Amino acid sequence: MTKARSLAALKASLPHVSIPSFLFFTLAEWRSNPALVLDRIANDLPRGLYIVRSSKCGEDSGHSSMAGAYLSVQSVSEDDLPSAINAVIESYGNAENDDEVLIQTYLRNVIYSGVAFSHDPSTLSPYRVVSIAEGSDTAQVTAGNGGNTWYVVPGCTVLVPEFLRGPLDLLESCMAVYGETPIDIEFAATEIDDQSVTWLLQARPLILRGSPESESKLRSRVQRVNAQLQNSFTPHPFLRGKSTVFGVMPDWNPAEIIGQRPRPLALSLYRELITDSIWAYQRHNYGYRNLRSFPLMRTFAGLPYVDVRVSFNSFIPAALEDHLAEKLVDYYLDTLIKQPTLHDKVEFDIVYSCYTLDLVKRTETLRSEGFSNHEIDALLDSLRGLTNEVIRPDSELLSRDAKRLNRLDQRREVILGSVVDPLEKVYWLLEDGKRYGSLPFAGLARAAFMAVQLLRSLTAIGVFSDQDYDSFVRSVTTVNQRLAADLQASEMSEFLKRYGHLRPGTYEILSPRYDEAPDAYFAKQPSGIAESSKEVFRLSLDQLDELGSLLRNHGIQTDPVSLLNFIRSAIELREEAKFRFTRNLSEALSLLTQVGESYDISPEEMSFTNIKALQETYISGGDVEAILRGSIERGREQFDDALHTHLPSLVWNADQSFLFRAMQEEPNFITQRSVTAPIAFVTDTERLAGRIVFIPSADPGYDWIFTHGIAGLVTEWGGPNSHMAIRAGELGLPAVIGAGSRNFASWSQAGMIELDCEVRKVTVIA
C-alpha cells in the first residue's frame, strides 16, 4: 500500500484524528491529462498553499520505508503545482505509471512538528520516541536539522508534558489500526485562537532489524531500574551531598572506554581493574578524600554509569572540613544538573580539583552561590597544598608510580613463561595488572589531569596564546607517536612484538589484537601520519619572567621550567602507563580465549562471562566448565537487558527511567585547525587516507588509524582529556572528540564535511 492509500485508510478508520485535506493521483493520470488532475486539486482541496509529497509504490512497505528517498515540496502555490509535481516525479528515477503523487493542504500557524516512533530502533523496545522541532518548518526533524527527542515508556505513571500528549495520543490511535506492526508517523501542531490541534501528516511501517520486545517486559524491567534509582537518590551516611547523579561520561567515563552496552566480561574487567577500588585507592594517595569502599560505577539493567556523587566526593581535598565538603558537592551536582552538556567536562568546568593560575578568578562564581570568603580561601589553600605535593620538583609521586610499571613488565614475563594453569595465569596477570599497572596508571592519570588544567590556565591568563598551547602539546612525545614511527622504520614482526597486544576494544575479548589481524589495521605501504614535523617548544624570556612571578605570587612551589617539565612528564607517563598495563589485560584476554576453546566455548560465548566467576574457579576450584557456562547464561540475560534498555546519558531523577529527553551534546574541538574532506568509518580500512575518520570511542586501541594519513577525526564518545584528544593535539589533527550520539549519527551520513575547530563548527558539505 502506498503512502497516500495508507493515509486514506487511516482517515476512514480514525474519523476523530485531524488529517490535512489531501488527494492523490497516479503518474498514468498525470501523464495522460495533467489539466484534469489540476482541476481535481482546485475543486477538491481548499484554495491556498499545498505540499506535494512522494507516494511511490513500495515507498512505505513492510520491508523498506525509503524514508526521505524522494522529494517533497512545501508551500506550493496553485500556479507552481505543475513544476512541483514534476520535480517530485523526477526524484523517483525510474517512475512507473502506477506510482502516485500526494497533494496535501499546507498547514498554517504551525507551532511545532516532528516524527514519532512506536518503537526505539536501537533497542527494539516499545519506547515511544518523539522528536519535536519548534517552528513552522514541518521538515526540520526529518531533515535532521533540529529539535529534541523524547523517550517514553508506554503506560508510565509519570506526568507527561502537555506538548507530548498530542503526538503520543496520535501515535496510539494509529497503532490501534496497524495492530502489532511497529509504525512511525509525521505530525504537526497548529494553534488558532488559543486552541492547539495535532495533525497526522503521514504514517508508515517502522522497519526494525529484529523482533520487537513486548510492552510488559519493558515495563517490568524499567520498574526494577526505577526502584534501584529511587534507593540511590537518598542521603548516605558516609558521603557528602544530599542526592546524586549518574552519568556515562564523568570521571572514568565508561561510555568512552567500554561503551554504553558492554558485554559482561568487558564490564566486569573494567570494574575489577579500575572502578571497584583502584580508582579510589590512588586518588586518596594523591591527597583527596578516602572513598576506597565505594564502587565508582553502578549498572542499571546492564548499562554502566558513574555515581557522580561518589566521584565529586573523591575530588574534595582530604584537608577540607565536612561542612564545606557537603556544600561543594551539592553545588557541583546542582551545576551539572543545570548544565548537563558539561557531563564530559566536569573536572574542567564544574569541579575544582587542583590549584591552577586562574583558580582565584574561577572561584568568584562561588560567591554568588552563597560561599563565604573564608570558605573560598579554605578551598584555595587546600587545593594549593594538594597540588604542591604532586608538582613540586622533589615530589616522588610520579617517579614512584613510574617505577611500578617496570615491576609490572618483569613479573608479566615470569607469569607468561611459567607452567601454571592458564586460569591461574589470568588470575595473576590481573592481580599484577591492578597492583603494578592500573594503580600507577590511575595516579599518573590524576597527575596528567592536573597538568592539562595547569596548561589550560596558562592560556586563560594570557601567558600562552592558543598557538602556544597547541605548539606545546605537539612537542610532547608519547608512546603513540613512537608506534607510528616504528611502523614505518621496523619490520612488521618487530613492530608487532612491541605493539601487537593493542586492540581497539581494550577490554573486549572479541576485538582482535594488532598481532592477530595486522592486515586489517595497517596498510601494506604505510601512508604516514597526518602530522607536522616535531616541534621544539620554548618560552620567551618575558614569558619566563611573567610565569615565575605568577608562581611565586600564587604560592606554587616550583619554577617555570620545572612546571613545564612536570606537565610534559605527566602527560607522557600517563600514556606510557596505559600502554603497559593494557598488555597484562590483553594477554589475559588471549588466555581466556584459550580457556574457552578447551571446553568448546567460543570467544563470543566467553564475552558473556564475568571475571569474578573465573577468579572463583582458581580460588575455590570446582567444575570449571559448569561455572563458565552458568556465568555465560547469566551474562546473556544481563546483556539482553542492556540491549533492550534506553536511559539518558545523565540521570538525576528516578522518573527519567520512564520518560526523558535525549541530551544535546556539546562536542570537544581539538586544535585550532580546519579541514574539509570526505568521511570514512573506521571499518573502511582500505580508504582511510585523506578522510575524516569516524570511530565510536576514544579508546587507545584505535591508534593504528594514525598510520593511514587521515585528515581528521570524529569520535562519538570522549572528553577533552581523553586519549584521542591528546593524540589529535600531538599531531595537530583537526578533531571532534565526544560528538554525542545524535551529532555522530547525523554527520556520519554525509559524504563530505568541514571541521572548523577554531570556530567550533561542523558543516555538512555533501
Q: Which residues carry out catalysis?
A: 723
Task: Give the integer Cα–Cα distance in Å for 41 and 33.
Answer: 13
Residue 750 exposed, middle or buried by CB count within 10 Å (0-12, 13-18, 19+): middle
Contact 146, 132 (CB under 8 A): no
Of the candidates 334, 382, 380, 384, which has an alpha carbon nearest to the alpha carbon of residue 361? Answer: 380
Best CA proximity match to 433, nearest among 358, 507, 346, 335: 507
Three-class SS of 110-164: EEEEEEEECCECCCCECCEEEEEEECCCCCCCCCCCCCEEEEECCCCCCCCCHHH
What is the C-alpha separation between 66 and 78, in angstroms, rounded?
Answer: 28
Q: What angle do CA 326, 285, 350 make, to 5 degrees?
A: 40
Length of the chain: 766
Cell 491529462: give the residue.
Answer: 33
Exposed e or buried b for every residue in 261-298, given b needs 16+ CB within 10 A? bbbbbbbbbbbbbbbbbbbbebbebbbbbebeebbbbb
Whether 650 and 673 have beta carbons less than 8 Å apart is answered as no
Alpha-carbon dihedral of residues 350, 353, 357, 361, nearest 10 degrees? Answer: 40
**Range list of β-strands (E), 253-404:** 297-300, 303-307
**Alpha-carbon span 301 to 641, nearest angstrom:** 5
* Residues near 574 by beta carbon (within 8 Å), at least 6 away in sequence: 441, 444, 445, 447, 448
Q: Which of 398, 367, 316 lies closest to 570, judged by CA?
A: 398
Task: Indicate the helix (H) or strand (E) that contains 714.
Answer: strand 712-715
Look at strands 659-661 and 128-134 and give their pairing: unpaired
Spatial distance between the Cα atoms of 177 and 196, rounded to a whole number of angstroms? 24
d(CA 679, CA 668): 18
Residue among 491, 494, 492 at smallest CA distance from 519: 492
CA distance 305 to 592: 26
CA distance 535 to 547: 21
Which of 355, 340, 347 has the alpha carbon at shortest distance from 315? 347
Q: At which residue does the C-alpha cell 565526544 appear? A: 738
Q: Which of 692, 746, 749, 694 is nearest to 716 (CA)?
A: 694
Q: How far is CA 49 from the centre of its chain?
A: 42
Task: Select from 548, 556, 547 the least CA-distant residue to 380.
Answer: 556
- Give helix 466-475 / helix 723-731 axis angle, nearest 10°: 100
Which phi-psi region, left, alpha or beta, contains residue 193 (left: φ > 0; alpha: ψ -120 to 50)?
Answer: left
Amino acid at 752: M
Full strand arrangement of the beta sheet holding 73-76: 22-26, 100-105, 50-55, 73-76
User: How far apart, in Å, do the first and last CA atoms of the chain sit?
Assistant: 33
Look-up of cell digits 594549593? 384
